[in-house]
């Protein structure tokens, strides 16, 4: 027997029988035998689109006086419940299993991507009930609230609410794109649950287990449908396969929209998966160990939703600046970890340019005005390369002088938004940090206490940076709080772009 949060699947020789649990949840109704029969019929009809050889029939089930269950014809009046009869497939032949074993090759991913692209192209377009951006916001919001309703951990609440804030900001800023896609018929009756464990690679490629219990959960943008499999492969630790899937899907003519759009939908899909894990954890027949495993899975998926939200905010360059010892490197590292973007540091580039080992102090001439400009120009050039390859970067430098900022901007260009996060801390905190850093064995910065005090008094304000792109932050706080402030400020910026 295999169990999901809403069904049992009984494996019997070459066949399998799927029995729906008698559940009524905010997102499904399996509450009566007749309702479950209707859903079995829908499951058969819909899944024959992508797996015609696996889905065989709907069968009735009776329970005899001996307590044993028996299969009947669907129309037999003795039936007390119903199952979907399927041809059993080898679970080791699924994309999930093969990916975990490291046995998936590019031709297999290409075949999966091409099958999904063909299916999406054939799927009928669905009229949108309302404005697409509002519909997308509402779905994200409803799922987030359902997750909040079953979460028992305070830490999860703030993170989910932050993701809901991101969704509102994104949908507002990208309203025109969402409406264009709907007008082009990209909202279609698709699969709705494209998970790696539902993709059977052999003996023939078939995709099983689409959503049957709510047609609105299949009325999706094709990018949204694809995003679920992108999330699943990434959650399996195979982000490389997820990237290949997207590339092959586009090459096959599939319309996945922009990378930002895929990130938005993937964030939503990761939260759907987190909700499912929490539903499973709360079910009474789960033992304590299973429940704990489900809780950890939910935590991991919320973190993945945050990662995809960062991708949806791109392209973007985040400059974390401030005087030495202001906490900029600490914050820049945290932002780079959370966003997955490359972290480029002016201190490292300066030492590379003068041929000094990173652990050693650079000579005094390395800090002259002309060398500063050369350093920031090279920093700008490398950030431009990072934008080309990774759609963004986290930049770590003082950016104290206007001339240095101009040198950086001249090499970077204006093809990507740049947001400056200016780190500030009380003078006593700066001095304390500088002394501690001087004593540290693995410092990168050469700025000692006297440099910190001197640069604090000669800072050239970032007056040339537009208001929306300049965020001042007090860094005498925990890194987690600062990271939340960074993401909140970016979402606020997105929201203002929508107005």
pLDDT bracket for residue 314 (50, 70, 90): very high
pLDDT for residue 342 is more than 90? yes
**Of residues 212, 228, 252, the one with CA closest to residue 115:** 252
pLDDT for position 374: 96
Q: Which CATH architecture has domain 92-312?
A: Alpha-Beta Complex (3.90)
Three-state DSSP at 320 gives: strand
CA distances from 344 to 319, 396, 404 (A): 10, 6, 16
pLDDT tens for 23-77 read 998 888 999 999 999 999 999 999 999 999 999 999 999 999 999 999 999 999 9
- What is the C-alpha separation between 117 and 425, in angstroms, rounded? 52
- What is the C-alpha separation between 231 and 304, in angstroms, rounded? 8
Phi/psi for 61 (5° steps) reads: -130, 130
**Of residues 343, 299, 340, 332, the one with CA closest to residue 482:** 332
What is the sign of the dihedral through the CA atoms of 237, 243, 244 and 246?
positive
Percent of all residues in the chain with a pLDDT value above 70, rounded to a whole number: 94
Q: Across the strands, what pairs with 15?
A: 12, 87
pLDDT for position 97: 97
Instruction: Note whether 394 and 339 are within 8 A (CB).
Output: yes
pLDDT for position 430: 82
pLDDT bracket for residue 441 (50, 70, 90): low
Side-chain-facing half-sphere of 497: CA atoms under 13 Å = 19
Neighbours of 308 (CB within 10 A): 25
pLDDT tens for 365-383 read 888 999 999 999 999 999 9
For range 473-480, the mean pLDDT:
91
pLDDT tens for 120-130 read 999 999 988 77
Instruction: Note whether 192 and 131 are within 8 A (CB).
Output: no
pLDDT for position 438: 60
Residue span(s) of the chain under CATH 3.40.50.300 come to: 316-498
∠ Cα 12 297 134 (to 5°): 100
pLDDT bracket for residue 334 (50, 70, 90): very high
For range 179-207, the mean pLDDT:
95
Residue span(s) of the chain under CATH 3.90.1200.10 come to: 92-312
**Of residues 246, 257, 276, the one with CA closest to residue 27:** 276
For range 422-450, the mean pLDDT:
70
Instruction: Note whether 43 and 55 are within 8 A (CB).
Output: yes
Q: Are strands 24-25 and 206-207 parallel, antiparallel or unpaired?
A: unpaired
Which residues, 6 or more positions from 76, have their beta carbon under 8 angstroms from its beta carbon? 60, 62
pLDDT for position 83: 98
Q: What is the mean pLDDT of the chain?
A: 91
pTM over 0.75: yes
CA distances from 451 to 326, 367, 390 (A): 12, 11, 34
Three-state DSSP at 393 gives: strand
Q: What is the third-level CATH fold of 316-498?
A: Rossmann fold (3.40.50)
Please state which of the ranges 50-64, 160-174, 274-288, 477-491 shows the lowest mean pLDDT: 274-288
Task: Give burial (CB, 10 Å; 0-12/13-18/19+) of 290.
Answer: middle
pLDDT for position 497: 79
Instruction: Note whether 246 and 108 are within 8 A (CB).
Output: no
pLDDT for position 436: 72
pLDDT tens for 145-183 read 888 888 777 667 889 999 999 999 999 999 999 999 999
Which residues, 6 or more positions from 97, have their beta carbon under 8 angstroms from its beta carbon? 91, 197
- What is the C-alpha separation between 337 and 376, in angstroms, rounded? 23
Give the DSSP H or E segment for 18. strand 15-20
pLDDT bracket for residue 241 (50, 70, 90): very high
Instruction: Note whether 120 and 225 are within 8 A (CB).
Output: yes
Please state which of the ranges 232-246, 264-278, 333-347, 443-457 shows the lowest mean pLDDT: 443-457
pLDDT for position 447: 52
**Of residues 157, 172, 132, the one with CA closest to residue 491:** 172
- What is the C-alpha separation between 216 and 35, in angstroms, rounded? 17
**Of residues 193, 188, 194, 183, the one with CA closest to residue 219:** 188
To the nearest 10 degrees (0 to 180), the angle between helices 154-173 and 259-282 is 150
pLDDT bracket for residue 458 (50, 70, 90): confident
């Amino acid at each position: 027997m295999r169990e999901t949060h809403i069904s049992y699947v009984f494996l019997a020789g070459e066949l399998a029988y799927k029995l729906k649990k008698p559940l009524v949840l905010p997102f499904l109704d399996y509450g009566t035998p007749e309702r479950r029969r209707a859903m079995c019929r829908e499951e058969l009809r819909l899944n024959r689109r992508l797996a015609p050889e696996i889905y065989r029939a709907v069968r009735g089930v009776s329970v005899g006086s001996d307590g044993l269950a028996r299969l009947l014809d669907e129309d037999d009046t003795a039936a007390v419940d119903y199952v979907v009869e399927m041809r059993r497939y080898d679970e080791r032949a699924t994309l999930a299993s093969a990916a975990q074993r490291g046995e998936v090759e590019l031709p297999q991913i290409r075949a999966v991507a091409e099958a999904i692209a063909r299916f999406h192209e054939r799927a009928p377009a669905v009229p949108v009930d309302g404005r697409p951006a509002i519909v997308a916001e509402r779905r994200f919001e409803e799922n987030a609230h359902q997750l909040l309703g079953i979460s028992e951990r305070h830490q999860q609440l703030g993170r989910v609410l932050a993701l809901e804030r991101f969704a509102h900001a994104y949908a507002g800023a990208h309203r025109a794109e969402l409406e264009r896609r709907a007008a082009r018929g990209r909202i279609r009756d698709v699969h709705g649950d494209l998970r790696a464990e539902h993709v059977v690679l052999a003996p023939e490629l078939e995709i099983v287990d689409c959503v049957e219990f709510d047609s609105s959960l299949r009325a999706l943008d094709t990018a949204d449908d694809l995003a679920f499999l992108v999330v699943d492969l990434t959650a399996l630790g195979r982000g490389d396969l997820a990237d290949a899937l997207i590339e092959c899907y586009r090459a096959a003519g599939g319309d996945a929209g922009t990378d930002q759009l895929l990130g938005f939908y993937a964030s939503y899909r990761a939260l759907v998966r987190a909700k499912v894990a929490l539903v499973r954890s709360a079910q009474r027949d789960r033992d304590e160990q299973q429940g704990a495993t489900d809780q950890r899975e939910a935590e991991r998926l919320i973190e993945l939703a945050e990662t995809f939200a960062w991708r949806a905010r791109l392209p973007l360059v985040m400059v974390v600046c401030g005087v030495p010892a202001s906490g900029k490197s600490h914050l820049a590292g945290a932002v780079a970890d959370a966003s997955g973007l490359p972290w480029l540091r002016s201190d490292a580039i300066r030492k590379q340019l003068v041929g000094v080992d990173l652990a050693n102090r650079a000579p005094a001439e390395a800090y002259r005005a002309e060398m500063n400009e050369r350093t920031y120009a090279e920093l700008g050039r490398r950030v431009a390369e990072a934008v080309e390859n990774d759609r963004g970067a986290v930049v770590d430098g003082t950016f104290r002088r206007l001339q240095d900022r101009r040198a950086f901007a001249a090499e970077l260009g204006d093809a990507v938004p740049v947001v400056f996060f200016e780190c500030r801390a009380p003078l006593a905190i700066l001095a304390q940090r500088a002394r501690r850093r001087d004593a540290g064995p693995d410092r990168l910065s050469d700025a000692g206490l006297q440099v910190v005090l001197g640069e604090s008094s000669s800072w050239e304000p970032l007056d040339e940076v537009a208001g929306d792109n300049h965020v001042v932050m007090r860094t005498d706080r925990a890194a987690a709080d600062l990271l939340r402030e960074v993401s909140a400020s970016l979402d606020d910026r997105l929201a203002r772009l929508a107005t």
